[in-house]
């Protein structure tokens, strides 16, 4: 069974640009969550999608957005990039439903560097 | 709301020595508890989880954790660490029936040869 796949793994952008990151969850997983990881702030929750709907949202500005497609694949977009957006962006999928335990399955992340 | 506190940001330990990584949580509802490990330049991987039942939980790579409800703790232990255990460890909680996971700030375990 394939794991969570994130693309691209590494990317470099300049201030003011925008970026789109992609996440393919484990087959059968319907919930996809996004996290930002930085050395100073640790793991911060961005948002969670389930059945193409944003179900939970963290405390990030509107420049951070996401969506989920009918096949559960998800994308997140960051517009008007700032230096502080440099981070590892992690996607996690989970099997949501009656047996949900909150266990997350993570991808390897997309490392974004903003110059 | 839930919160997770990992008091130690870094823990150095000699190879083959025991280690304990501490985790305390607060929650107004019942929660599931997790420990994840992150190796350099990788995503997080589940080490172990407590859902219910026995308070002593065994995970991968020889790690175990004990759930203490009265002290709201879920400390991670290993009797003898190896160089390959060098990584960052995250404690996490998730309320029953609600898909929202809260992570601690992480503890970097450095195993010294």
| Confidence band of A14 (pLDDT split at 50, 70, 90) | very high
Q: Which residues on chain A place their C-beta less than 8 Å from a C-beta of chain B?
A: 4, 6, 31, 33, 35, 42-43, 45, 48, 50, 55-56, 90, 92, 94, 96, 100-109, 111
How far apart (Å, rounded) are the C-alpha atoms in residues A24 and A102? Answer: 18
Give yes or no for residue A95 having a pLDDT over 60: yes
Kindly provide the residue ranges of all beta strands, DSSP E only, lying in A39-86, ordered along the sequence: 42-50, 53-57, 64-68, 74-78
Give yes or no for residue A7 having a pLDDT over 70: yes
Query: How many Cβ contacts (< 8 angstroms) between chains A and B?
Result: 64
Q: Which residues of A touch B94 (CB under 8 A)?
A: 101-103
How far apart (Å, rounded) are the C-alpha atoms in residues B27 and B37? Answer: 23
| CB atoms A102 and B94 under 8 Å | yes
**Residue A99, pLDDT score:** 61
Q: Which residues of A touch B43 (CB under 8 A)?
A: 4, 6, 90, 92, 106-109
Mean pLDDT score, A4-27 = 97
Q: What is the pLDDT of residues A19-31, one digit of tens each?
A: 999 999 999 999 9
Is residue A105 within 8 Å of A95, Cβ to Cβ? no
Mean pLDDT score, A8-29 = 96
**Residue A97, pLDDT score:** 60
Is residue B66 within 8 Å of A69, Cβ to Cβ? no
Q: What is the pLDDT of residues B16-52, one digit of tens each?
A: 999 999 999 999 888 899 999 999 888 999 999 999 8
Give yes or no for residue A98 having a pLDDT over 70: no
Average pLDDT of every residue of chain A: 92
> ∠ at Cα A23 (A17, A27), nearest 5°?
170
Q: What is the pLDDT of residues A57-77, one digit of tens each?
A: 999 999 999 999 999 999 999
Query: What distance in Å separates residue B53's CA from the closest CA in chain A?
Result: 14
Nearest chain B Cα to A39, which residue?
B105
**Residue B41, pLDDT score:** 81
Give yes or no for residue A34 having a pLDDT over 60: yes
Torsion of CA B20, B24, B29, B32, to 10 degrees: -30
Q: Could you tell me what percent of chain B has a pLDDT over 70?
A: 98
The size of chain A, in residues, is 115
Give yes or no for residue B14 having a pLDDT over 90: yes
How far apart (Å, rounded) are the C-alpha atoms in residues B37 and B17? Answer: 19
Give yes or no for residue A41 having a pLDDT over 90: no
How far apart (Å, rounded) are the C-alpha atoms in residues B5 and A102? Answer: 18
Listed in sequence order, the residues at least 6 apart from A40 whose beta carbon sits closer than 8 Å to its beta carbon are none
Helices (H), chain B: none
Listed in sequence order, the residues at least 6 apart from B33 whose beta carbon sits closer than 8 Å to its beta carbon are B23, B25, B49, B50, B65, B67, B74, B91, B92, B93
Q: What is the pLDDT of residues B71-101, one digit of tens each?
A: 999 999 999 999 999 999 999 998 887 667 8
**Residue B35, pLDDT score:** 97
């Amino acid at each position: 069974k394939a794991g969570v796949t994130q693309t691209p793994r590494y990317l470099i952008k300049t201030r003011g640009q925008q970026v789109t990151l992609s996440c393919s969850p484990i087959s059968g997983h319907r919930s996809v969550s996004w996290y930002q990881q930085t050395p100073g702030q640790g793991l911060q929750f961005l948002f969670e999608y389930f059945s193409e709907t944003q179900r939970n949202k963290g405390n990030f500005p509107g420049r951070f957005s996401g969506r989920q497609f009918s096949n559960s694949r998800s994308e997140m977009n960051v517009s008007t990039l700032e230096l502080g957006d440099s981070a590892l962006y992690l996607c996690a999928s989970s099997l949501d439903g009656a047996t949900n335990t909150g266990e997350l399955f993570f991808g390897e992340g997309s490392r974004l560097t903003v110059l | 709301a839930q919160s997770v506190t990992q008091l130690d940001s870094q823990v150095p330990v000699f190879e083959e020595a025991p280690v304990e990584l501490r985790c305390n949580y607060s929650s107004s509802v019942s929660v599931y508890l997790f420990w994840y490990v992150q190796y350099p330049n990788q995503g997080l991987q589940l080490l172990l989880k407590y859902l219910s039942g026995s308070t002593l939980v065994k995970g991968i790579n020889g790690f175990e954790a004990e759930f203490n409800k009265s002290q709201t703790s879920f400390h991670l232990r290993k009797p003898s660490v190896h160089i390959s255990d060098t990584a960052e460890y995250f404690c996490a909680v998730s309320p029953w029936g609600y898909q929202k996971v809260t992570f601690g700030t992480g503890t970097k375990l450095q195993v010294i040869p």
